[in-house]
Amino acid sequence: MNIPKKIQEKLNNRIQNKVFRVLPSATNTIDFSSNNYLGFATSETIFKNTHQLLIDRNLQQNGATGSRLLSGNYELYQEVEAQLCTFHNSEAALLFNSGYDANIGFFSVVPQRGDIIFYDEFIHASIRDGIGMSNAKSYKFKHNDLSDLQAKIQKIKQSNTTDQEIYIVTESVFSMDGDSPDLKNLVKLSKKENAYLVVDEAHALGVFGEHGKGLLQELHLENEVFARIYTFGKALGCHGAVILGSNTLKSYLVNFSRSLIYTTGLPPHAVATIKIAYDELSQTTAIQDLQKNIHIFKETTKNLNFIPGNAAIHCCIFSGNENVKNAAKKLQEKGFNVKPIVSPTVPKGKERLRFCLHSYNTEAEIKAVINTVQILQSCKTISIQ
């Protein structure tokens, strides 16, 4: 069957620029790539306890049967949302089918026409997509640069006298660099400018705070933020996401968030897995194991060309798409599952190897992969024979 010419040209352009994507095959290499930080995605305990919960509750059905506003809002949904309110110290919680659904569902409808959104230039693609669907105007600020943010807020305020709300959007841990903003001063700035602060905690959940509650709760800032977004496909090893905030915000999202209203709800098995994964967070030792491995990685790489960070994500710059892909291939040939991050996902010249650490990585594995990177760094370019 023929394909439209413009589509074929775009695919050809990707191939020519060496950024053509294909779905990878599963490998048996050592995991330095997945978001399964605590090993929950492969936890036999979580799998068995989830199954038993469904049996005990007589929830032996494969799907939700409809959207949450029709037939899909079964009792376990409310139970888990109440559990998340308690765990994360929030007035209200609203489950979404994924982090992507949560972000487009929030940002497309909460900021209104005439409002202003300021977002970190490294913000996740799902947030950018949601902002792009909004009627509000949006401006990016330099990564983690509060001075740049404040200057841009002041400039907008001076040039605009209309009634408007200001939203500031960031992540507590950024997915490409593994670094964090100065959240305490960001809260102060948002208060000073009477702005609504929204923080995505996707890569902080299960990594920071008591029982992995996230970076905002570790810093006791959870009540200073307008909305928090947590996704479950990282450290929790399952699926779905939650938006935390006030009861009024929840009611608004239920009434206007299209990615909630017009999609089938999560199946009971998915919601039960979220509950059991949170139960496991409260008692697991995997968080301490992960933190130990983060410390080992940081100490071993502190004199190398790695982007500094305190999270489970660490990156090493290998400029050039072809160069970083070749470096990743060399690591994979040595038995390490490390992925290249190429432009335009990251800025040109900032292509990097991205390392995700886990509670189940051994010290020997960590030091072996770093040693291999050191050898690769000694070469100006990496060629594949």
Give the residue from 252, 281, 310 where a domain finishes.
281
Same-domain status, 140 and 234: yes
54 occurs within a structural domain: no
Tell me whether residue 35 is in a domain.
yes
Q: Is 234 exposed, middle or buried (0-12, 13-18, 19+ CB in 10 A)?
A: buried
Residues 219 and 313 in one domain: no
**130 in the same domain as 33:** no
Q: How many CB atoms lie within 10 A of CB 334?
A: 16
Burial class (CB in 10 A: 0-12, 13-18, 19+), 145: middle
pLDDT on residue 385 = 35
Instruction: Give the residue from 250, 281, 312 where a domain finishes.
Output: 281
Residue 152 belongs to domain with CATH number = 3.40.640.10
**What pLDDT, on the 0 to 100 scale, is given for residue 120?**
98
Q: Are residues 156 and 290 in the same domain?
A: no
Are residue 320 and residue 246 in the same domain, yes or no? no
pLDDT for res 43: 97
224 and 305 in a common domain: no
The verdict on residue 371 lying in a domain is yes
Does residue 15 fall inside a structural domain?
no
Cα distance between residue 139 and residue 125, in whole Å: 15
Residues 328 and 191 reside in one and the same domain: no
Do 227 and 315 belong together in one domain? no
Residues 95 and 242 in one domain: yes
Q: Are 332 and 371 found together in one domain?
A: yes
Statement to judge: residues 68 and 160 lie in one domain = yes
Q: What is the pLDDT along the chain (385 residues), one digit of tens a residue?
A: 889 999 999 999 988 887 888 888 878 899 999 999 999 999 999 999 999 999 999 998 999 999 999 999 999 999 999 999 999 999 999 999 999 999 999 999 999 999 999 999 999 999 999 999 999 999 999 999 999 999 999 999 887 656 799 999 999 999 888 999 999 999 999 999 999 999 999 999 999 999 999 999 999 999 999 999 999 999 999 999 999 999 999 999 999 999 999 999 999 999 999 999 999 999 999 999 999 999 999 999 988 888 888 899 999 989 998 899 999 999 999 999 999 998 888 888 989 999 999 999 999 999 999 999 998 887 755 544 3
What pLDDT shows up at residue 70?
96
Residue 205 CA to residue 274 CA, distance in Å, equals: 13
Give whole-number Cα distances, 370 to 349, 351, 355, 381, in Å.
22, 18, 10, 18
Structural domain tally of the chain? 2
Question: Quick one: 171 and 263 in the same domain?
Answer: yes
pLDDT at 148: 98
Q: Which domain holds residue 211?
A: 61-281
